[in-house]
Structure 1
Amino acid sequence: MFERFKKGLERIIEFLSTSELDEATIEKYRDDIVFTLVENDVAFIVAENIVEDLKRKVEGLRVERFSEKRRLIRRLLREVLLELFLYAGKLDLIAKAEEKRRKGEPLVVLFVGPNGHGKTTTIAKIAYLLKKRGYSVVIAASDTFRAGAIEQLMEHAKKVGVKVIKQEYGADPAAVAFDAIMHAKSRGIDVVLIDTAGRMQTDVDLMNEMKKIYRVANPDLVIFVGDALTGNDAFDEALKFNEAVPLDGSVLTKMDADAKGGAAISIVYATRKPLIFIGVGQGYEDLKEFDPIEFLDNLGLKE
C-alpha cells in the first residue's frame, strides 16, 4: 500500500541526506520536496506547509554521519505528519453513541460530501458496525435529488437490517432528516444516520440546502466523506464543506484502490479534524478505523 508515495519519501530522504542538514538545504530542495508530495496527492498548500515545518525542525541541528542523517530525516518527516494528525485529535463514534444512549437520546450524524465519493455505502458500513456493537440505527434518506438514491439506500439498509425513513423524490431533505430524528426519539433508537445528496462544493444552491439540513437536524456530528482517488481536489473539497458546515471528522473511501495516500494528509490539514475511518473494500465489514501510526509506518516512516 502507498508504494509510490513510500518511494517518493525515500527520494526526499536520499537527497536531503547528501548535504548539511539545515534550513538552507531544505530550501534548496523545496521544489523537489513539494513536487514529490503533490504527485502523491498532497495538496500544494499542504506540501508547502510541510516544507516550512521541516525547516523549523532542522533549525540548530548538527548531524555529521550519513547514516544518522537518513534516520533523522525520516524521524523528522514522521514528526511533522504525526503532529498534524495528533492536532486533529480523535473521534470515537462508538463512545459518542454510548454517551448519547446513556442520556436516553439518539446520536444524530449528518454525512456530507461531493458526488460519487461513496457516502451511501459508507453510511451502510457504519450502520453495520453500529449494529454489530449493539446499537439500534435508523437512516434518513435525505438525498431526494439523485435518481435511484432512495432505492440504493433501501437496498443497503435491507442487507444490514436497519430501517429507512424516506419521502418522495423532490421532498424537502431537511424534513426527511427531521422525521427520522423524531422516529428515533419516539422509539428509543440509538443512532440516526442522515444521507444527503452529493454536491460539488461550488454549487451554491445545493450547499445552501445542506446548510438548511444542518440547521433543522442540529446533528451531534457532521462527517465529510471523501474519495482517496480524487487527488489534489480532496483539499479544496474538504475545505469548502468545512466552511459551509462545521465538520467533526472525515471518512476516506477507496483506500484499497490505487490510492497514493496523500489525500488523507490533505483532508486532515484542510479540516483540522480527525480522519475517523477509511474504506478498504466493497463489503460492509470493509471499514477500518484510521490509525495515523500505521499510516506513517506504511509510508516507510517507521520509528
Structure 2
Amino acid sequence: MLEQLLIFTRGGLILWTCKELGNALRGSPIDTLIRSCLLEERSGAASYNYDVPGASYTLKWTFHNELGLVFVAVYQKILHLLYVDDLLAMVKREFSDIYDPKRMSYDDFDETFRQLRKEAEARAEEMKKSKQVMVDRVSNLGKKQGKQMQKLGFEGGNKKKSGGGESVKDGDDDDNNVRNAKLENGHNNRDSRVNGKENGSVKTNSGAFDVNKLQKLRSKGGKKANVVVNKVSKEEPKKKPGKKNRVWDEKPVDTKLDFTDPVSENGDGHMGVAQVFEGESMMDKDEVVSSESEEDEEVEMDKKIDSKKKGWFTSMFQSIAGKANLDKVDLEPALKALKDRLMTKNVAEEIAEKLCESVAISLEGKKLASFTRISSAVQSAMEDALVRILTPRRSIDILRDVHVAKEQHKPYVVVFVGVNGVGKSTNLAKVAYWLQQHDINVMMAACDTFRSGAVEQLRTHARRLQIPIFEKGYEKDPAIVAKEAIQEASRNGSDVVLVDTAGRMQDNEPLMRALSKLIYVNSPDLVLFVGEALVGNDAVDQLSKFNQKLADLSPSSSPRLIDGILLTKFDTIDDKVGAALSMVYISGSPVMFVGCGQSYTDLKKLNVKSIVKTLLK
C-alpha cells in the first residue's frame, strides 16, 4: 500500500500531499532523502531505503527540471509495488499541466490523483495476470514435451525388447570381427617393429637426424673443435674492476642531512632537546586559486563532442536558437567524455558513473539557453554538483570546539584511524604543531600497541615538539590506554588528546573490533580517517568497509562512525586529485586536513574550488 505521495519545489515548498492516504510516517524519510540523496548528487539511484525502529520505507522520486518540481512516493519496504514508477510518471505529466508558480494550493488535484492511482493499479494487475498466463503456458508446454519424450522412450524400449534375440546374435558376430581385426593389426605392428630394428638404416634416414652423417662430421671437425677449446681455455679470465677506495672529505657534514634531534647545552651543562620551530603552518594560510580561463580547451572539447553526434551547422544552429528540451540522447556524448575525464583524475569508476547519472537526471527535460552548447551545460551542472559534494554538510571547527570543551573542563579527544602505512603518526604530529601555534596544550596518546617501533616513533615527535606523551608500551589494550591517557590529560590540564592507533586493513576483523571498542569506550569528539591521495578505487573500499565494520562491531545502537578525513601525500599526485572526491562521496564526511610534505608546517585545508577546477581541467 502506498504510504504517501508529495509534490514540492526544489526550494523546499510543499505544493501538494495526498490527503486520501494521510498516513503518519515514522521518522523523517523525506528530510533524510533530501539531505542524504538529493543534495549529495545521488539522485541517479533508482530508490532509497529508509530504516528506523518500527518502520522501514522505500522512497522513489522523479523530477520536472524545467519547472523545478520534485515528486516523491513513499511505501513500505516489505511491499513490492509495481505501479509506483508508472504512477509517478502520470502524476508528473498531469500536475505539470496545471502548475502555476503563483498558486500555493492544489486541492483540485485530489480527484485527479485518485483516478491516476486506480488506473496505475489496474494496469499493474493486468501486467501481473498476463505474466501469470505466460508462465502457465510455458509450464503446460513443458509438461506436454515431457509426456511426448516419455512416450517416445517407452516405444523405443518395446522395439528393443521385441528384437532382442537377433541383436545379441549380431552383436556376437560384430565382436568376433573386431577381435580378429585387432589380432591382425597386432601382428602387423609387431612385424613392423622388428623390421625397424633390423633395418636401422631405413629408420635413421626417415628419422629426425642421421647417425652416419653425425659420425663423419665428428671425425672431420674433431681436431678443429679441440683446438678451439684449448685456445679458449688458455686465455686468462678477464678481471673485474675493483672497487675504488673512498676518499673522505674533511668538510663538515651538511646540516640538512642530519635528521637527529637537535640538542642544546643548558647552563648547568646538561644536554636537552631543543624545541622545533619551522614557521607558520599552512593551515592558517589561504591558498590562492588562479582564475585563468580555459575557454580554448572547452571550445575544442565542445566541437569534438558535438561533431560526433551532429553536423557543424546543426550544432551551431542549436547553440544559437536553443534546444526545446534536453533528452538523454543529447547528453550521452558529453557525459561520456566527462566520465572519462574524471576517471583519468583518479576518481573511482563507480563514483564517476553515479555522478554522471545524477547530472543527466538534473538536466533531462531542461531547455537549453541560446548561445549555449550541450557540453557547456553539462560541465556547468557537474561543477555545481562537485562543489556541493566537497562542501561540508556540517561545520567542524576544531579550534572552536576545543575552547568549548575547555570551558566544560574536559579535554578534546581526536582519534586517528586508517590502513597501514598512510602516515597517521606523522600527520598527527602536524596537527599537534598547528594546535600549538594557537596556544593549545596538546598531549599525545601512544595507543598503537601492535606495531613494533610505533611508540618510539611517536615519542620522537613528542620530544621534538616538546609535547607530553602518554604510553604504556606494547601488547596492551588500546582502549584502556586511551582511557588512562584522557584521565591523565584531565589531571595535568591538557586541552587536546591526540590518540594514535595501529594501522589496520579494512578486512582485519580482530583489529577492527579493537578499534570499535576504543571508540565506544572513550567516546572521542572527532574520529579522523587518514587516507592516501594516491589511491583511486581502493579509497571507496577502505572508507565504506571502515564505516561498516565500526557500525557492525559496535555494541551501541547508534554507533560512532568516521567524522572527517585527513588526506596524506597530496604533493605526490600532480592533478590526480580524484581520491578526495571519492572519499567524500562514499562517506559524506569532509576532508578537514591535507598533508602535502614532510615538515610539520606541511598541513593545509582542502581548497574546494581548486579541486573542482583540477577535476574538470
1:194 correspondence with 2:499: yes
Q: Within 5 Å, which residues of 2 pair with 1:131-280?
A: 131-245=436-550, 246-259=561-574, 260-280=576-596
Contact 1:22 1:61 in 2 (8 A): no
- Of 314, 339, 344, the match for 1:39: 344
What SS class does the counterpart of residue 504 from structure 2 fall into?
coil
Q: How many Å separate the matches in 2 of 1:194 and 1:104? A: 19
Would the alpha carbon gap of residues 180 and 97 (structure 1) be closer, same or farther in structure 2, given more than 3 Å must change?
A: same
> Is 1:286 aligned with 2:602?
yes
The aligned counterpart of 2:416 is 111
What SS is found at the alignment partner of 1:256? Answer: helix
Is the CA contact 1:154–1:164 (under 8 Å) kept in the aligned structure 2? yes
- Give CA deviations for 1:33-91 in whole Å, capped at 9, x if unaligned: 4343233221222111111121023221314536x555433321210111112364432
Distance 1:13 1:148, change over 3 A: farther
1:15 Cα shift?
A: 4.8
Is 1:65 matched with 2:65?
no
CA distance in 2, matches of 1:238, 1:128: 27
Contact in 1 for aligned 2:430/2:600 (Cα 8 Å): yes
1:232 maps to a residue whose letter is: N
Distance 1:13 1:149 in 2: 53
Question: 2:508 and 2:305 mapped to 1: Cα distance?
Answer: 43
| Distance (whole Å) between structure 1 residues aligned to residue 330 and residue 485 of structure 2 | 57
| 2:363 matches 1:48 | no
Unaligned runs of 5+ in 1: none
How far apart are residue 265 of structure 1 and its match?
0.3
Q: 1:30 to 1:69 in 2, by over 3 A?
A: closer
Alignment-mate amino acid for residue 367 of structure 2: L
Within 2, Cα distance between the matches of 1:178 and 1:225? 22
Q: Would you say the 8 A contact 2:577–2:614 is kept in 1?
A: no
Q: TM-score, normalised by structure 1?
A: 0.89
Structure 1 residues 278-287 or 291-300, which shifts more? 291-300
2:494 and 2:302 map into 1 onto residues whose CA distance is 52
Q: CA shift at 1:107, angstroms?
A: 0.5
Supply the distance in 2 between the matched residues of 1:199 and 1:290 (Cα, whole angstroms): 25
Task: Give the Cα separation in 1 of the matches to 2:303 and 2:474.
Answer: 57
CA RMSD of aligned residues (A): 2.4
> Aligned in 2, Cα 1:158/1:13: closer, same or farther, shift over 3 Å?
farther
Indicate conservation of the 8 Å contact 1:90/1:274, yes or no.
no
Alpha-carbon distance change, 88 to 13 in structure 1, aligned in 2, over 3 angstroms: farther
Given residue 99 of structure 1, which amino acid in structure 2 is its aligned partner?
Answer: V
Q: Secondary structure at the match of 1:267?
A: helix
Q: Which amino acid aligns with 2:596?
A: V
Q: Report the Cα offset of residue 13 of structure 1.
A: 5.9
Could you say which structure has the greater relative contact order, defined with CA pairs below 8 angstroms and 6 or more residues apart? Answer: 1
Instruction: Provide the rounded CA distance (Å) in 2 between the counterparts of 1:39 and 1:153.
Output: 37
Would you say the 8 A contact 1:38–1:232 is kept in 2? no
Per the alignment, do residues 17 and 124 of structure 1 end up closer, same or farther by CA in structure 2, a change over 3 Å counting? farther
* Percentage of pairs with the same residue: 37
Does the 8 Å CA contact 2:543/2:583 hold for their aligned counterparts? yes
157 and 165 in structure 1: CA distance in 2 versus 1, 3 angstrom threshold = same
Distance (Å, rounded) in 1 between the aligned partners of 2:305 and 2:465: 51
Deviation, 1:263, is 0.3
Matched letter for residue 360 of structure 2: K
Amino acid at match of 1:217: N
CA distance 1:12–1:263, change in 2 (3 Å): farther
Q: Secondary structure at the match of 2:534?
A: coil
Q: What are the Cα deviations for residues 229-258 of structure 1, in whole angstroms up to 9, with x where unaligned?
A: 122211111111122330111010011112
The question of whether the paired residues in 1 share the 8 Å contact of 2:334 and 2:374 is answered with: no
Amino acid in structure 1 at the alignment position of 2:577: G
Distance 1:280 1:99, change over 3 A: same
2:562 alignment partner, SS class: coil
Is the CA contact (8 Å cut-off) linking 1:135 and 1:191 kept in structure 2? yes
- Name the CA shift for 1:275/1:94 in 2 (closer, same or farther; >3 Å): same
For 2:597, give the aligned amino acid: G
Counterpart Cα distance in 1 of 2:569 and 2:392 = 25
Give the whole-Å Cα distance in 2 for the aligned partners of 1:150 and 1:88.
Answer: 36
Segment drifting more, 56-65 vs 287-296: 56-65
**1:80 and 2:385 correspond:** yes
Report the Cα distance in structure 2 between the residues aligned to 1:17 and 1:84, rounded to whole angstroms.
28
2:570 alignment partner, SS class: coil
**2:611 — aligned with what?**
295
State the SS of the aligned residue for 2:494. coil
Q: Is 2:334–2:375's contact at 8 Å kept on the other side of the alignment?
A: no
CA offsets 1:250-283 (integer angstroms, 9 cap, x no match):
0100111125100000110111011101111111
**Structure 2: 5+ residue runs without aligned partners?**
1-288, 310-314, 316-325, 551-560
Aligned residues of 2:595 and 2:602 also touching (Cα < 8 A): yes
> In the alignment, residue 150 of structure 1 is paired with which amino acid?
V
